[in-house]
Amino acid sequence: MILDRINGPKNLKTLSASERKELAQEIRQAMLKRASIHGGHFGPDFGIVEATIALHTVFDSPKDKIVWDVSHQVYPHKILTGRKQAYLEEEHYDDVSGYSNPAESEHDFFEVGHTSTSISLASGLAMARDLRGGHENIIAVIGDGSMSGGEALEGLDTVGEMGTNMIIVLNDNQMSIAEVHGGMYKGFDELRRTGGKSEHNLFRAMGLDYRFVADGNDSEALIKVFREVKDIDHPVVVHIVTQKGKGYKFAEEDKESWHWHMPFDIETGEVKHPYVDEAAELTATYLLDRMKTDKKLAVLTAATPSSFGFTSERRKQAGKQFIDVGIAEEQAVAMASGLAKGGARPVFGDYATFFQRTYDQISQDVCINNNPAVFLVFGASMYSMNDVTHLCIFDIPMMANIPNLVYLAPVSLAEYKAMLAWALDQTEHPVAIRVPVLPVPSEGRVIRTDYSQLNTYEVTRRGEEVAILGLGNFYGLAEQTAAELEKKGIHATIINPTYITGLDTDLLESLKKDHRLVVTMEDGVLDGGFGEKIARFYGSSDMKTCAFGLEKKFYDRYDYEKLAEEYNLKPELAAKKILDLIK
């Protein structure tokens, strides 16, 4: 195997063209086997193999610095920079993260996982080099899908004014996770059709130089162009056309499903343990059904349609009532405000971690204007994505402290559905819903269908001494903790707070009569969260409070159960802590 000889980029420099071809083959082989067993990103890595070989052949990493956008295409890079074991040996598959990671290698400069950041980050490296008086090459590798993100476009504009070395490799595989969307892609299309000669060139319009490589899966063509731009004295875009999923038939044919993939059978491409996201399914079927009678219902995604069940088939069914704005969360939220103002009923769904892109738009474009847009916040839980760049545990501090927003926490799928219906029926408030993360019960616990009396909590069981407020996903934990307490003779009150964004002051006041401890349980970090609001409310009274949730911290690839234990987020542990407090 060629790979046997590759322990770092320096081993690449002397390979022949045919050896590079063989090496590409070996890398795909290793990645295929690993993906079939371990799962992970697929299409982006299979498309970028030759470009990675070419980059490390021409440039001198880590002196020359390569910044990978999103970094879900970074597997070949990891293989070539000393981490091949994690792709070749099953027992080492988990030695590396799924993203670029400076803790793993000097060839990685940033830990990233959100899109559209590479140009901005690289522009900083370039300016630092210039202040230092250095001469290395700074390279950003960014996909066509990521180019639609505001941060990338802002970065392009800054780079377009810089007068020094900076190389942006546009990896154009004609896809985002799903198909690309936006006017710029007409331009990219023309560039592909004209061999880079079309005058509709976003990069030249932004002040950058430009090169085109028709076959971005041809290492030799890439090496030629990379050699030409190496040590260039001004910013240049190298536009390379690659095939997403290249080398594995099923991934070439269905690029969307194979962007990221669960473990599968290599022969058939069949998923080993099929999994249906019930919350996403419920959302898509409900919205599609509602569209039939409500022609002003508009569903928006920022390039993650599958996060809420909008498969390509369903997108077709929705027709012009569904819009994918591309990776452009700010646009999605602001557009939703415009839609609401214009009399439509907009729903924007995305993962909690990506809502982080939209703080200002939620605050300014939507909430100051009090336009009734609806936001579905998916995956918001510690039992969700556990890569540090994809944590979904910060949404409560971020969103629940924005005025005018009504942020709801359903405790079951049935309650989620009732809230979604209400949110779309009413036009008084911008509403966000923290979509349940399983396991929550599918049925039951829908006490009402009208949520317009804001900040009215539901007492689901009247007890005494201790009251437990179980927010959203953690309502079940509250019930189970109460059951543990029952064994010790404490008959606790159980409450479904329902509203994250406000306090039911009457109810909280009334608890003072016959309770001496109010406990909150929330599925996220405590800092800036729901429990702290309750603590402040009771601060000057005799009522004691205790907030269960996570410490403010960037957790990475954690074990869910261990983390739950560490923070007493298990019924027995929580009950024990409560008993300690009241004894």
Interaction residues for its own copies, span 353-412 (CB under 8 A) = 356-357, 359-361, 363-365, 367-369, 388-389, 394, 397-398, 400-404
Q: Comparing C-alpha atoms, which of 98, 116, 45 is closest to residue 327? A: 116
CA–CA dist 139, 119 (Å, integer): 8
Among 23, 27, 156, 279, binds its own copies (CB under 8 A): 156
**Does residue 109 belong to the site contacting its own copies (CB under 8 A)?**
yes
Dihedral class, residue 433 (left if φ above 0, else alpha if ψ from -120 to 50, else beta): beta
Instruction: Judge whether 315 and 324 are in contact, CB under 8 Å.
Output: yes
Residue 413's SS3 state is helix
CB of 496 to its own copies, least distance (A): 21
CA triple 53-55-56, angle to 5 deg:
65
> Near its own copies by CB under 8 A, which window of 8-16, 115-123, 212-220, 460-468?
115-123
Q: Which of 34, 83, 129, 357 is catalytic?
A: 357
| Identity of the residue, 83 or 114, whose beta carbon is nearer to its own copies in the bound complex | 114
Among 151, 172, 415, 504, binds its own copies (CB under 8 A): 151
| Identity of the residue, 394 or 422, whose beta carbon is nearer to its own copies in the bound complex | 394
> Near its own copies by CB under 8 A, which window of 29-37, 157-165, 239-247, 374-382?
157-165
Q: Comparing C-alpha atoms, which of 351, 331, 304, 576 is closest to residue 466? A: 576
**Cα dihedral angle (411, 416, 419, 421), rounded to 10 degrees?**
-160
Residue 452's SS3 state is coil
> DSSP code of 571?
H
Q: Which of 20, 34, 78, 244 is catalytic?
A: 244
| Identity of the residue, 376 or 396, whose beta carbon is nearer to its own copies in the bound complex | 396
Among 69, 104, 330, 484, binds its own copies (CB under 8 A): 330
Task: Give strand pairing partners of 299.
Answer: 322, 347
Is 329 known to be catalytic? yes
**Does residue 525 belong to the site contacting its own copies (CB under 8 A)?**
yes
Among 19, 60, 154, 278, binds its own copies (CB under 8 A): 154
CB atoms within 10 A of CB 572: 12
Q: Supply the Cα-derived Rg of the chain in whole angstroms.
A: 26
| Identity of the residue, 248 or 548, whose beta carbon is nearer to its own copies in the bound complex | 548
Q: Comparing C-alpha atoms, which of 352, 401, 348 is closest to residue 378? A: 352
Q: Using the CB atoms, write b or e for 286-295: b if 16+ within 10 Å.
A: bbbebbeeee
CB of 540 to its own copies, least distance (A): 5
CA–CA dist 511, 507 (Å, integer): 6
CA triple 489-494-500, angle to 5 deg:
150
Task: Give strand pairing partners of 439.
Answer: none
Which residues inside 450-469 make contact with its own copies, applying CB under 8 A?
none
> Near its own copies by CB under 8 A, which window of 86-94, 130-138, 222-230, 263-271?
130-138
Is 230 known to be catalytic? no
CB of 92 to its own copies, least distance (A): 24
CA–CA dist 245, 169 (Å, integer): 18
> Near its own copies by CB under 8 A, which window of 273-281, 282-290, 342-350, 446-454?
342-350
CB of 391 to its own copies, least distance (A): 9
Q: Which of 104, 151, 329, 522 is catalytic?
A: 329
Which residues inside 186-205 make contact with its own copies, applying CB under 8 A?
186-187, 199-202, 204-205
| Identity of the residue, 311 or 364, whose beta carbon is nearer to its own copies in the bound complex | 364
**Does residue 135 belong to the site contacting its own copies (CB under 8 A)?**
no
CB of 77 to its own copies, least distance (A): 17
| Identity of the residue, 18 or 540, whose beta carbon is nearer to its own copies in the bound complex | 540
CB of 447 to its own copies, least distance (A): 26
| Identity of the residue, 181 or 244, whose beta carbon is nearer to its own copies in the bound complex | 181
SS (H, E, C) 462-494: CCCEEEEEECHHHHHHHHHHHHHHHHCCCCCEE
Which residues inside 527-566 make contact with its own copies, applying CB under 8 A?
527-529, 531-533, 535-536, 538-541, 544-547, 552-554
> Near its own copies by CB under 8 A, which window of 38-46, 80-88, 180-188, 456-464?
180-188
CA–CA dist 434, 548 (Å, integer): 18
Query: Could you tell me how many residues of this chain bind its own copies (CB under 8 A)?
Result: 119
Which residues inside 1-30 make contact with its own copies, applying CB under 8 A?
none
CA–CA dist 324, 103 (Å, integer): 35
| Identity of the residue, 71 or 243, whose beta carbon is nearer to its own copies in the bound complex | 71
CB of 395 to its own copies, least distance (A): 11
Among 184, 271, 421, 563, binds its own copies (CB under 8 A): 184
Read off φ and ψ for residue 424, nearest 5 degrees: -80, -25
| Identity of the residue, 312 or 363, whose beta carbon is nearer to its own copies in the bound complex | 363
| Identity of the residue, 55 or 578, whose beta carbon is nearer to its own copies in the bound complex | 578
**Does residue 71 belong to the site contacting its own copies (CB under 8 A)?**
no
CA–CA dist 217, 240 (Å, integer): 8
Read off φ and ψ for residue 128, nearest 5 degrees: -60, -45
Is 244 known to be catalytic? yes
CB of 209 to its own copies, least distance (A): 11
- Supply the DSSP string of 194-257, one letter for each residue: TTT--S--HHHHTT-EEEEES-TT-HHHHHHHHHHHTT-SSEEEEEEE--TTTT-HHHHH-TTT
Among 50, 111, 144, 523, binds its own copies (CB under 8 A): 111
Among 82, 263, 338, 441, binds its own copies (CB under 8 A): 338
| Identity of the residue, 208 or 564, whose beta carbon is nearer to its own copies in the bound complex | 208
Q: Comparing C-alpha atoms, which of 438, 429, 394, 382 is closest to residue 408? A: 429
Active site residues: 244, 329, 357
